[in-house]
């Protein structure tokens, strides 16, 4: 199965980890489609959720060392769609991208798979971890083949994450990232073996936007209460 990897054209942890995991899984990557940075018109979060990484390697260096073709291209462009079709790509894997649009979404033979750090359809959209905590919903990852809607399409696999009494937001964020990587081999195997129409289609559900600062400030308290309740439940029902 021929893969195209959507990546960022700058050092980025998710891009780096996905490229290395695909290499370890002996995936047939025919091209890495790297997009330059884009300035986002959204307010900054008042609460830090993700760690500050260092010592990351530029994805061009990784791709060249692995012998993979590396193209700097706008992910929304016709050039990107044409390149995918020219290389007869079966599946696109998002390891770093903004929202994709037609004709790029439909360019691969099977589709483009995304790993969303929230359970779909319960938690679609931005700040998935934060909204899952605020709304007291399960935290996890959804691998889905995207369509024209945001965080929708065909669900390939869902995986909830474990929580621990001493967890903080950064712990949960890292565990979600680790879960994405753990799911990658099974998702690619499923796409190679099953027809896309056999996977469930995401029904309509609310789409979350950027979490407002006044709600963000409540997250540490809500998370602590939730983890304490989980610990009490474990102690109560432990054999």
> What pLDDT is stored for residue 237 in this prediction?
42
Total domains present in the chain: 1
Give helix 59-66 / helix 13-24 axis angle, nearest 10°.
10
Edge-to-edge strand ranges of the sheet holding 70-72: 70-72, 28-35, 2-8, 91-94, 111-116, 140-145, 154-160
What domain range includes position 135? Answer: 2-237
| Tens digits of residue pLDDT in 152-197 | 999 999 999 999 999 999 999 999 999 999 999 999 999 999 999 9
CB of 119 closer than 8 Å to CB of 137 = yes
| Tens digits of residue pLDDT in 105-156 | 999 999 999 999 999 999 999 999 999 999 999 999 999 999 999 999 999 9
Cα 197 to Cα 4, 16, 110, 158, 237: the distances in Å are 21, 31, 10, 17, 41
CB of 156 closer than 8 Å to CB of 199 = yes
> What pLDDT is stored for residue 123 in this prediction?
97
Task: Look at residue 235 and tell me whether its pLDDT is greater than 60.
Answer: no
In whole angstroms, what separates CA 191 from the centre of its chain?
Answer: 17
| Most confident listed range (167-176, 197-206, 225-234) | 167-176
Gap between the Cα atoms of 92 and 96, Å rounded: 11
Q: Say which CATH number the domain at 143 has.
A: 3.40.50.170
Token pair for 17: 């980890």
Binned at pLDDT 50, 70 and 90, residue 239 comes out as: very low
Q: What percent of the chain has pLDDT over 90?
A: 89
């Amino acid at each position: 199965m021929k893969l195209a990897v959507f990546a960022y054209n700058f050092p980025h942890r998710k891009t780096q980890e996905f490229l290395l995991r695909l290499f370890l899984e002996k995936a047939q990557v025919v091209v890495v489609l790297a997009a330059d940075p884009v300035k986002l018109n959204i307010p900054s979060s008042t609460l830090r959720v993700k760690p500050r990484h260092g010592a990351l390697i530029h994805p061009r260096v990784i791709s060249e060392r692995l012998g993979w073709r590396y193209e700097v291209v706008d992910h929304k462009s016709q050039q990107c769609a044409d390149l995918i079709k020219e290389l007869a790509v079966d599946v696109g894997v998002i390891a770093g991208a903004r929202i994709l649009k037609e004709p790029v979404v439909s360019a691969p033979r099977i589709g483009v798979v995304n790993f969303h750090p929230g359970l779909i359809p319960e938690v679609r959209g931005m700040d998935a971890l934060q909204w899952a905590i605020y709304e007291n919903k399960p935290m996890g990852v959804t691998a889905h083949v995207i369509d024209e809607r945001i965080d929708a399409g065909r669900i390939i696999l869902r995986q909830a994450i474990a929580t621990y009494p001493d967890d903080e937001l950064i712990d949960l964020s890292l565990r979600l990232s680790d879960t994405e990587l753990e799911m990658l081999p099974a998702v690619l195997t499923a796409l190679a073996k099953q027809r896309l129409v056999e996977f469930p289609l995401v029904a309509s559900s609310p789409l979350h936007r950027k979490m407002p600062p006044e709600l963000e400030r409540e997250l540490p308290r809500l998370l602590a209460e939730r983890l304490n309740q989980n610990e009490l439940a474990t102690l109560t029902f432990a054999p």
